[in-house]
Structure 1
Amino acid sequence: MTRMRSWLFVPGDSEKKAAKAAKSGADVLIFDLEDSVAPTQKDAAREMVAALIAREEPRDWALWVRVNPFDGDLTAADLDAIVRPGLDGILLPKAEGGADVAHLADEIAKRELAAGMTPGSVRIATVATETATALFSLSSYAPAHPRLAALTWGAEDLAAAVGATSNRDEAGDFTPPYKLVRNLALFAAAAADTAPIDTLHADFRDLAGLEADCRASRRDGFVGRLAIHPAQVEIINRCYSPSDEEIAWARRVVNAFAENPQVGTLGLDGKMIDRPHLIAARKTLGL
């Protein structure tokens, strides 16, 4: 499976930005048909993204598309244009729970069949916190739909929905309501056993702040991050990749339990480790 550390947004109507993004080193490119595309450019964006998907050329990144949300009348046309061989996944904005994933999956399946694609080949990720209603449906992602590959969160639309004057404090940190949302999204992804992807760092010039934020994010359990500029990709990839020391330790933990399958707790380098350490080690190696 393709790594999912960096998810770089690319406006769906800009061939210049698409070409630059393809060389960025991002694990996932998300060609956007939603917010970054003006209403008058939606058809042109669909045509451009469809042409990119259809290109038969090797690539070392996964091709995803952010479609327009179900609360409008644009989603069906988006899906008609993009569900074709070469598409890896769809990011659904303003999702309001597992029912939306199931509905999107049904719509994808019809189009996969018509396009002669392998059933289930197109995966789904959701932006799961962009409406107030969505927060009360986070538990519905579990058990996860087979297509669900990742869950991320966002604060901008949510702030607008509740009438907040800002979602950040004077120091630039998220205010308590949005820290809560971040934490709930992380736990919702864990409950669904799907990849938790952290939200974007909006100031793409603040690379030091991005790095500090990414390190804290990975510490807490996120495995990747959204990006809005190619300059952010290298930092994101580095911060969400385990170090050589982490990998070596994880392998030792896994091997120690493999050699002692009859025990639940054992000592390693003067430390007591148990089953939670084994689970964490396997997750590290999975990265």
Structure 2
Amino acid sequence: MKLRSLLFVPADSDRKFAKADACGADALIIDLEDSVAPGRKSFARDAVKDRVSGAHDWTFLVRINPLETGLALEDLAAVVRPGLDGIVIPKVNGYQDVERISRHIDDLEAATGVAAGHVKLLVVATETPAAMLGLAGYATSRATPASRLVAMTWGAEDLSAALGALTNKEPNGEWTFPYQLARAQCLFAAGAAGVVALETLYADYRDQDGLAENCRIARRDGFVGRLAIHPDQVAIINACFTPPEADLAHARRVVAAFAGQPDAGTVGIDGKMYDRPHLVAAKRTLASVGE
């Protein structure tokens, strides 16, 4: 599952869905949560049912409503069917919420003829204060072969609202310290869980230079893709999170060198020594393009 660019699309908008369909995103997140008014939730679920079984060349994800709303299980019952690739879970309070959702999907896959374990889970992991205190729990998913979890991302808006913050940004546009911490902790939790970390939204979709620089920083820090709120952001995100061919070629050489010396702790390439952390990084680089 390639996850460089993941574009949010309101589930109840045919116009926005049509535009998103051809924008080149790796995944569309058909949204049943924030972008859908309370009175249109049922209509939005029906729209997802109609779309999920259609032909598409991107990963089909659905963001359900939070468990606390009482709508999440209805959402799952409506959308878990052939054609769905994954569920985005918002406002989780910890890994126990992920396990609860996963158990419901087990039953729904069996009931709808979806292959067991096909529907993957992506988590917005920092949207509540309780979530911030429970991030260490995601490390347990690494030891669970049946875990559906494939990616973690973070968010600041719901968290800042829950904390009563006056703002989550400095005057220069940088995140204030609590939200820098949320970002970093999400990155660490994803690493502990053995899943990919995705950078959060860049709100000003007209600022393409700012988006590109922000993506560069995210990739430097270890994020492998990011969320998008507008189709115009997708091409920039894809370009920024696709490694240059020179980096891919070097990564292949590192992997090949270790494969040729499976008992070696270090290998030499062009007069330089490479050890196991370099092998891990090389494999991650190749995995980002599906190799």
* TM-score normalised over the length of structure 1: 0.96
Work out which of the residue numbers 53, 60, 64 in structure 2 matches 1:67.
Answer: 64
Aligned length: 284
User: Given residue 9 of structure 1, which amino acid in structure 2 is its aligned partner?
Assistant: F
Cα offset, 1:248, TM superposition: 1.0
**Alpha-carbon distance between aligned partners in 1 of 2:44 and 2:231, rounded to the nearest angstrom:** 20
Tell me how far apart the structure 2 counterparts of residues 31 and 266 of structure 1 sit (CA, whole Å). 46
The one-letter code of the counterpart of 1:64 is: L
The one-letter amino acid of 2:13's match is: S
CA distance in 2, matches of 1:273, 1:210: 33
Q: In the TM superposition, what is the alpha-carbon distance from 1:60 to its structure 2 partner?
A: 1.3
Deviation sequence 1:28-75 (CA, Å, 0-9, x none): 1000000000001111111111110132x2x21011000000111111
Corresponding residue SS for 1:197: strand
Q: Give the aligned partner of residue 250 of structure 2.
A: 249
Query: Where does residue 33 of structure 1 map in the other structure?
Result: 32
- Per the alignment, in what secondary structure is the counterpart of residue 29 of structure 1? strand
> 1: distance between equivalents of 2:22 and 2:217?
27
Q: 2:128: which partner in 1?
A: 131
Q: What is the RMSD of the two structures over their aligned residues, measured on CA atoms? A: 1.2
Deviations 1:227-266 (A, max 9, x none): 0000000111111111101011111212222333343223
Structure 2 counterpart of 1:117, from 106, 114, 130: 114
Which one is further off, 256-265 or 183-192?
A: 256-265
Q: Distance in 2 between matches of 1:185 and 1:148?
A: 14
Return the TM-score normalized by structure 2. 0.95
Q: 2:75 is matched with which residue: 60, 74, 78?
A: 78
**Cross-structure match for 1:53:** 52
Q: Deviation above 3 Å: which 4+ runs of structure 1?
A: none
The answer to whether the 8 Å contact 1:130/1:153 transfers is yes
- Secondary structure of the equivalent of 2:284? helix
Q: 2:267 matched to 1:266?
A: yes
Distance 1:261-1:112 versus aligned 2 partners, 3 A rule? closer
Pairwise CA distance, 1:285: 1.0
Whether 2:108 is the aligned partner of 1:107: answer: no
Q: Which amino acid aligns with 1:12?
A: A
CA–CA separation in structure 2 for the residues paired with 1:34 and 1:133: 20
Aligned to 1:18: 17
SS at match of 1:166: coil
Judged with a 3 Å threshold, the aligned counterparts in structure 2 of structure 1 residues 266 and 84 are, in CA distance, closer, same or farther, namely closer
Say if 2:94 and 2:130, in contact at 8 Å, map to a contact too.
no
User: Structure 1 regions of 5+ residues with no counterpart?
Assistant: none
Paired amino acid for 1:258: A
Instruction: Indicate the percent of aligned positions where both proteins have the same amino acid.
Output: 53
Opposite residue 47 of structure 1, the aligned amino acid is D
* Counterpart Cα distance in 1 of 2:263 and 2:118: 39
Farther-moved stretch of structure 1 (257-266 vs 62-71): 257-266
Cα displacement (A) at 1:113? 1.6
1:42, 1:258 → 2: CA distance? 52
Alpha-carbon distance in 1 for matches of 2:262, 2:33: 51
Matched, 1:216 2:217: yes
Kept in 1, the 8 Å contact 2:46–2:78? The answer is yes
Does the 8 Å contact 1:124/1:148 carry over to 2?
Answer: yes
Code of the residue aligned with 2:17 in structure 1: it is A
**1:98–1:142: 8 Å Cα contact kept in structure 2?**
no
Aligned partners of 1:142 and 1:52: how far apart in 2?
Answer: 35
- CA–CA distance in 2 between the matches of 1:29 and 1:142? 27
The superposition leaves residues 80-101 of structure 1 with CA deviations (integer Å, 9 ceiling, x where unpaired) of 2111111111000001221111
Match of 1:10, SS state, is strand
